[in-house]
Structure 1
Amino acid sequence: MKNIAVFCASSPKIPGIYFEDARKVATYLVKAGYGIIYGGGGAGLMGAVADEALRHTGQIKGIIPGFMVDVEWEHKDVEDMVHVETMHKRKELMVQQSAGIVALPGGTGTLEELFEVMSLKKLGQYPHPIVVLNTAGYYNGLLELTNKMVEEKFMRPVHNEMWNIVNTPEEVVPAIRNAKSWGEDSIKFAAL
């Protein structure tokens, strides 16, 4: 079974539309036969993804740093839970054990995870699909920024093809399946 890493918010205070879409994404991933790897939290979109995967008897694995366990952020019902020492190790394992990334709306942690994996892909170190769910236009600002990066020659136009931006949960699995191949030979484009 291929695992998809899901990056997403841990805040329980965000608008309900983001929770609805997070649950739908988890449902579609499970029904498509994917396992889910996520940050191990029990609240926010993390909790919603885990709860929905469990509800559909899907395979879900959490990876969480010890300090988050200490403050009781860990999801109590996810049996496959890996405790690590640092946030860096958490992200490293999520990326290493995944065959694709889905980024749901999130804060600085989600953006940091997304940008690192985009950098890895640009350098030919992560050949798998990256799908960004743009619920309610959440990532419109990111799209403007990456287009500006291309316009001002910080990136080549091909670098804006490293990921797929989708607007609905229904588009996530097809975007994973139809993602453009991006192998190690793509590193030749990184610095151009």
Structure 2
Amino acid sequence: MKNVTVFCASSPKVKPEYLEEAAKLAEELVKADYRIVYGGGEVGLMGVLATRALELQGQVRGIIPHFMVEVEWEHKGVTDMIHVNDMAERKKLLVKDSHAIVVLAGGIGTLEELFEVLSLKKLGQIVQPIIIVNTAGFFDPLLQMLDKLVDEQFMRAEHKQLWHVVASASEVCGALEQLPRWSANAIEFAAVK
């Protein structure tokens, strides 16, 4: 079974459309026989993602730091739960055995995770597809900023191949099947010219 890592919000106060997108992503990934690997939380998009996948008898693995368990953020229904010492270890394990990374709407933690994997991919340290789900245009300002990085020559134009954008969760599995494999020699791609 292939693992798809999902980065997304833990806030339960967001608009319903974002929570619905998390449920839809769970349905799509379970239907395509992917194991969902996520941050282990019980609320917000994270909680909806895991709960919906479990309702469908999908495979879910959570990875959560001890301090989050202590404040009762851990999803009690996820039996495949890995407890780690800190956020750095959590992020490392979230990516380690992943076949793809999907990013839903989220806050600074989600954005940090997204930029870390983009940076790792740019430097040739990971090769997984990174798919950004742009629900209701949530990521439009960020995508404009990434374009500006290219326009201002902080990144090369070909670095826009590091990620792929879809409009909804229903497009994720199709994109995973069609995206070209990233070369293990990607470090050459990252070289400064």
Specify the TM-score bucket, using the shorter chain as the normaliser: over 0.9
Shift of 1:34: 0.4
C-alpha RMSD of the superposition: 0.8
Residue in 1 that maps onto 2:92: 92
The question of whether the paired residues in 2 share the 8 Å contact of 1:124 and 1:182 is answered with no
How far apart in 2 are the matches of 1:24 and 1:188? 37
Residue in 2 that maps onto 1:110: 110
Residue in 1 that maps onto 2:165: 165
How far apart in 2 are the matches of 1:150 and 1:182? 20
Residue in 2 that maps onto 1:27: 27
Residue in 2 that maps onto 1:82: 82
Letter in 1 for 2:153: K
How far apart in 2 are the matches of 1:149 and 1:176? 26
Q: Could you say what secondary structure the match of 1:11 adopts?
A: coil
How far apart in 2 are the matches of 1:183 and 1:113? 22
Give the alignment of 1:1-192 within 5 angstroms: 1-190=1-190, 191-192=192-193
Q: Could you say what secondary structure the match of 1:184 adopts?
A: coil
How far apart in 1 are the matches of 2:120 and 2:95? 10
Shift of 1:92: 0.3
Q: Which runs of 5+ in 1 are unaligned?
A: none
How far apart in 2 are the matches of 1:77 and 1:105? 23
Shift of 1:29: 0.5
Q: Could you say what secondary structure the match of 1:82 adopts?
A: strand
The question of whether the paired residues in 2 share the 8 Å contact of 1:9 and 1:107 is answered with yes
How far apart in 2 are the matches of 1:20 and 1:11? 14
Q: Which runs of 5+ in 2 are unaligned?
A: none
1:14-60 Cα shifts (integer Å, max 9, x gaps): 00000111100011001001000000000000000000110110000
Shift of 1:180: 2.3
How far apart in 2 are the matches of 1:21 and 1:116? 23
Letter in 2 for 1:21: E
TM-score (norm 1): 0.98
Q: Could you say what secondary structure the match of 1:24 adopts?
A: helix
Letter in 1 for 2:60: I
Shift of 1:162: 1.1
TM-score (norm 2): 0.97
How far apart in 1 are the matches of 2:3 and 2:189? 28
